Amino acid sequence: DAEITQSPRHKITETGRQVTLACHQTWNHNNMFWYRQDLGHGLRLIHYSYGVQDTNKGEVSDGYSVSRSNTEDLPLTLESAASSQTSVYFCASSRTGTYNEQFFGPGTRLTVL
Amino acid sequence: KQEVTQIPAALSVPEGENLVLNCSFTDSAIYNLQWFRQDPGKGLTSLLLIQSSQREQTSGRLNASLDKSSGRSTLYIAASQPGDSATYLCAVQAAGNKLTFGGGTRVLVKP
C-alpha cells in the first residue's frame, strides 16, 4: 500500500546543530508539505513543494530549508537548531493539481536542548 | 488572514451519545474543508473532505456539513464509542493548496 513515512520518529539534538528530518511518500504525489504542531499554535505550515526542484516558504519558514530532488522525498533541514524549534513535525502530501486531500505522515518529535 | 476556530476545546460524552463538533472560519473564500482525527502521539488521519460546492459529506457514522457563506462546518459522529476518543481537527484549504488548521477538539467518550 502507498504510504508516507518520516524518520527519525524521535530526535534529541543540541542548540546550534544542523538537523535533517526525512519524509518519503510512495503515493507518487507531486505536492508535499511540512508542518509543525505546538500547543497553543496548532499546526502551521513551514515549507511546501509542488514538484521536483520547486520549493516555497510557508507561514513559519525562518530557520528551515527544504530541497526537492525527486518526487518521493522532501527533507526538512534545520540549519542551526534553536530551542524554539522543539516541536512535532509532520509531513504531508497530496495529488497533482489543486485542492486535493492531504495525507499525513506519523510525525517526528524533535527536542532541542 | 484566515483564522479557524474550534469550540469547545474539549468534550466528554457517555457512550452512545451523538457527537457534534464545530468549526468556524473567517474567510469564506475556501476551496475545501477537511476533517482529521489525531490520536495521542500519532499523525493525522483524514476523515472527510468537503469541496466548497458541497453542503455535506458522509462516511459511515460520520457526517460533515459545510455552510461556506456563514463560515461554519459541523462534524457529526453518530452513536459514539470509546474508540472515537481522540482529537478532531478541521482545516480549510485556500489558494496554493495550503491548509489552515483549527486548534482541535479533544473528545472523550466514556464507556
Q: Residue A93 pLDDT more than 90?
A: yes
Q: Flag if B31 and A42 touch (Cβ within 8 Å).
A: no
> Measured between CA atoms, how close is B97 to chain A, in angstroms?
5
| Best residue of A102, A108, A109 to probe chain B, by most B CBs closer than 10 Å | A102
pLDDT tens digits, one per residue of B12-40: 999 999 999 999 999 999 989 999 999 98
Question: How high is the pLDDT of residue B79?
Answer: 97
pLDDT tens digits, one per residue of B59-103: 999 999 999 999 999 999 999 999 999 999 999 998 767 889 999
- What would the mean pLDDT of A71-85 be, rounded to a whole number? 97
Instruction: Provide, as residue numbers in chain B, all residues whose Cβ is less than 8 Å from the Cβ of A58.
Output: 98
- Contact with chain B for residue A22, Cβ under 8 A: no
Q: Residue B8 pLDDT more than 70?
A: yes
**Looking at the DSSP assignment, which residues form a beta bridge with residue B73?**
B23, B66
Cell of A46: 513551514
Q: Residue A42 pLDDT more than 90?
A: no
Question: How high is the pLDDT of residue A98?
Answer: 63
Q: Flag if B99 and A43 touch (Cβ within 8 Å).
A: yes
Backbone torsion region of residue B60, taken as left when φ is above 0, otherwise alpha when ψ lies between -120 and 50, otherwise beta: left
- Cell 466528554 belongs to B12
Which of A43, A99, A104 has the CB atom closest to B32's CB atom? Answer: A99
Q: Residue A99 pLDDT more than 70?
A: no
pLDDT band of A22, cuts 50, 70, 90: very high
